[in-house]
Amino acid sequence: AQTVTQSQPEMSVQEAETVTLSCTYDTSESDYYLFWYKQPPSRQMILVIRQEAYKQQNATENRFSVNFQKAAKSFSLKISDSQLGDAAMYFCAYRGYNTDKLIFGTGTRLQVFP
């Protein structure tokens, strides 16, 4: 069975600085998809960034980028130029190739200080 582990329950960063959130996963599949979701107090899960396992190039979305290490089964999220609005719970998630099921980690609470 696939698992997703986020080992940092909480992280903090100052505005305009850079922070990296860690995620590791376990799977025996070779094709899969990885996601980072943000959940603010409004509770709605918002997609931050996604990565296809068959792509070696790391995904980037504006201030958000990932470091995808397939052999190490690691998928970290880097947030550059942090903003107060980035404060939220961040969840790493895995989806197998032929399923709609998302497997989430336990989340990392990110605090952003002015």
Partner 1 sequence: DAGVTQSPTHLIKTRGQQVTLRCSPISGHKSVSWYQQVLGQGPQFIFQYYEKEERGRGNFPDRFSARQFPNYSSELNVNALLLGDSALYLCASSLWDPLANYGYTFGSGTRLTVV
Which positions lie near partner 1, rule CB under 8 A? 4, 33, 37, 42-47, 50, 52, 91, 93, 97-107
Nearer to partner 1, 49 or 112 (CB): 49
List the structure tokens of 106: 């336990």
List, in sequence order, every residue forming a beta bridge with 25; answer none if it has no partner. Answer: 4
Nearer to partner 1, 87 or 102 (CB): 102
Taking the complex as a whole, the smallest distance from the CB of residue 92 to partner 1 amounts, in Å, to 9
Nearer to partner 1, 16 or 54 (CB): 54
Q: What is the DSSP string of 10-52?
A: EEEEETT--EEE--EEE-S-SSEEEEEEEE-TT---EEEEEEE
Taking the complex as a whole, the smallest distance from the CB of residue 46 to partner 1 amounts, in Å, to 8
